[in-house]
Structure 1
């Protein structure tokens, strides 16, 4: 299924379900909301009438005044009011008054005078000083025939001498409820449709943008010339830029040119030396001189072989996405083994070597790679340590990390070279021979340390140079 359709379906489900839930919830709240507002109005009306009727109820002249006629006239009125699009042609309030015993003294409908209403909740609760209200069906079989009754006490001082109740049929409220529900339903449906339309446009735009990026990536993969599509969205523009950078890195034209150029330059010198020596060996020369040229060919051949081997090792590390194993590697034992392998060279140069790494200090990683990295560091340190100089290895715990330090006595590294030491093929002349190395050792070390999530730093310190490897330590 295309991504655009999936995004639209997600929008459809989310907007549809959210809209339906909100709409249904609000629709359910309309009816009780209208009735609550009506009840509040009935409370005010009942209390107003209680004050108006108080004197007539107290003196017992309620049926002798004009109030019955007024209520009859009120019931016959036709307001002809237009309320929010709903036509109101008659009044709906029913008003009745009871004495302190709950017997009806006055009824605007004229049907309940003399009846005992003391058991109806509106009268019963009001006579006991509570809020009296009830909702009763006019037709027990018709749920839409319910009538809301709200009562207020008629007081003579602190004594309740009667109750006035105001009633309103809920059916009279139904047109307003239905109108609000219809308007809300149309509005909700419109908002849902608008949301789906926006979701559809968003999914179309996103799908179109991704399709353009896909076409661009396919064209690049097929070797075609393609222009990077312009994107308006912030994240999509970043994605397009990332794809362009990835294309540049995959093609690697500048990188390959620089790599080949440097490699050619590095191979040119030993190959020229080998060719020159071979040409000279074709003629007659003393045995000692012949031996010198043969040794020169051997040395240059070894140099080329070392360059190729280091390039292969570096390529293998660069292609790795992670470590093949993560085991505790004891640094002291590893360093001792590497120093033993260089024992002849150390003894010849008369170097003073100190292994200050404490027993039991371990890092977590791949032993083979760590061994190769430390071997490269030692090789570098030995190259730059003068005869009779000092070489020192130490390690220090720093939280979850272990910092391995390889110090060699010697001249400080020039400032211009410090930032370039880990570049491929960049190397400084060795003090003993004046020749440069392959320039791949420290780059290899940096790649190995990066695979372990650590950090390599080479800096000048008092009396010499120190390389610091930050590697993950074994948890305590």
Structure 2
């Protein structure tokens, strides 16, 4: 069987089975889903009405109070609402109120006053502090007359004084459910037909493209100067086009083998020459030489070693990853001096906004840590930059350095702005997530704090941004004074991008 026919049959079987399963599940979920939505709205309605009925219930005038009058007016009202083609003219809610023993004291239809409803599930559960709901027949002779009842407690402070139950017949939803099911089936058949047509076209395109590509590959294998087939004339550039060009590129590379050999020869020569010089100088140094000659040969070894080093660095740069896995070099970094440098570099910004920036460092504190001065400067710069953005005009920013035991040092920057909203507390370090700046400033790129997190991970540090108890936002970096001797490389998630400031 040809691959095109196989693809078409598999496509048809998978599509048909998937559509049947989806339709079956979807249609079966329409009615329950609609009723769940109705129950959810009844919950809100019941609790709202219970709160409105509480004053009348506490004062013992439920049957004649303002709440009863409002419900009676609602029950006798006439509604004119066009809901997506369905016209609603009559109220659909039935409201009853019971006392704390489950005896009905108010009924919007006036039928159940005085009856004991304490055994009905909605009233029974609510009286016991639980969520009360039930679905039962309105007319025992009509199996389709079910109604959804949802109850809510009527409270006097924390004391339960009664229960309000709201109900609505499920059959009021039948027109909406029926129309939804009909529309689902109608559009499903249309989608099935269109998808099958597209499947036939796609199968033909795949089969024809593979056939042309196979003929071209066979011609290349025979050594013929075959012309590259034109792929994707109707669909644009595709993977088949890329594959055809890759085969052509491979053919050209094979034909140009001499060029590859010359390149390898040149590279070998570049490595061989300094190695030979180092070897020769090392052999001569084994002899008894004058001090001047010894120094000259030692200098030659150093120069050739540096030449090798630079050559290797260039080669390694070609295979460099998108972002760092660990610190390339560790050096002593004075956080106090670095902080002063960052504050000075941002002085035009905070000075233009009339901000008071203070840096507090204990003179007896050793503020030197091991790390990358460049990366730490970028991180502190981003944190202070954020503090400036979120500070009110003529506000204050406090920067401090403090020790945290003999192993760590903490760098803090606090502004006196609005702080971090609760909804953003867990997202401030997300890439591209940005909050509105103070006084109508434009949002940032959302990359600054993400870069701070990357720098902290590289330094085995902890970065945190939160609200200060006395107001404003406080950002901290808890840095180890010494980096581990053999730092573990960070995992490289596939969706991470290069850490950049901004």
TM over 0.5: no
- Greater helix proportion: 1
TM-score bracket relative to the smaller structure: 0.3 to 0.5
Q: TM-score, normalised by structure 2?
A: 0.43
**Bigger Rg, which one:** 1
Q: What is the TM-score when the length of structure 1 is the normalising length?
A: 0.45
